[in-house]
Amino acid sequence: MNTFHLKLREVVRDPQFQKGLCRLYRYSASECVSGNGKQTPDIGRMRERDLIRALHWKGVDTRQFSHENSRADCFIDNVNNPLSIKHYASKRNQGFKLSWTADKNKADEEIRKFMRDGLCDNMLIVKLDASTHTVTFHFMSVDTLNKLVRKCAEYKEFDPLRLSDPYKVFKKKKISNDRGVEFTSKFLKEFYKNCEWSESFKGDFIGDPEDADERRDEMLLKF
């Protein structure tokens, strides 16, 4: 049995890791703010990088590979442990992007592919609750994830496409940029209930744009 995720859980419980990660989150949040005070879309990728570097800092071997069909943000130890990282800061259980597609019509094709072939990566969802200053990690292995997807979609192996309902699990992204696939809010609730483990801790991860300006001023003063 592959237990790499137990190493992740041990690190997530480390108070030093928690403090360091929140500091990185705070820096990224201060950089990714638009003129109207809202977070810009690149905050998700910034947070993924923050988490990967914090794991590496605490001794987790995070690597980058090009692997067929994988959408992993990093691999733990080797190519057999792909990890997809999703940060979630919404107050509601809305979906979040699983993949981008060339156009919105390609999303249906992608959803059918997910049902037929399964997802390829272990998944770590990190929920950031600004109202309670709480960070919560939810981990699910790819085997458990695919079983849950098929269960929720009522997938039948003897007639997988006609009798299953993939739209109980997946939906086409509908907000400003509709070229992608998301999990449904109903499936997300099942994910949280059925994940292998979850860990929560308190932390200050909310960034202030003034912090970003002050950092630049300090750097310029060194010249």
Extents of the domains making up the chain: 4-221
Q: Strand 122-129 to strand 82-88: parallel, antiparallel, or no bridges (unpaired)?
A: parallel
Close Cβ partners of 143 (under 8 Å, ≥ 6 residues apart): none
Measure the CA–CA gap between 63 and 31, rounded to whole angstroms: 25
Does residue 158 carry a pLDDT above 60? Answer: no
- Position 94 scores a pLDDT of 60
Average pLDDT, the chain: 86
Query: Which of 128, 129, 119 has the alpha carbon at shortest distance from 51?
Result: 128
pTM (2 d.p.): 0.87
Task: Give 52-78 pLDDT, tens digit per residue.
Answer: 999 999 999 998 877 777 788 899 988
- What's the mean pLDDT in 188-217? 91
pLDDT digits (tens, 9 = 90+) for 10-59: 999 999 999 999 999 999 999 988 877 788 888 989 999 999 999 999 99
Sheet holding 74-76, edge to edge: 62-63, 74-76, 82-88, 122-129, 134-140, 197-202
Of 191, 217, 24, the closest CA to residue 32 belongs to: 24
Which strand (E) or helix (H) includes residue 14? Answer: none
Mean pLDDT of 77-100: 79
For 13, the token pair is: 């419980």
For 147-154, the CB contacts below 8 A with 24+ separation are: 148/187, 148/190, 148/191, 148/194, 149/114, 149/115, 149/118, 149/119, 149/187, 150/115, 152/186, 152/187, 152/190, 153/115
Segment (H or E) for 132: none
Q: How many beta carbons lie within 10 A of that of residue 14, not counting itself?
A: 15
Q: Taking a C-beta distance cutoff of 8 angstroms, is the pair 135, 126 a contact?
A: yes
Q: pLDDT band for position 97 (50/70/90)?
A: confident
The closest of 178, 203, 206, 177 to 33, measured between CA atoms, is: 206
Mean pLDDT of 81-104: 76
Tell me if the domain spanning 4-221 has CATH number 2.30.29.30: no
Res 196: pLDDT: 96
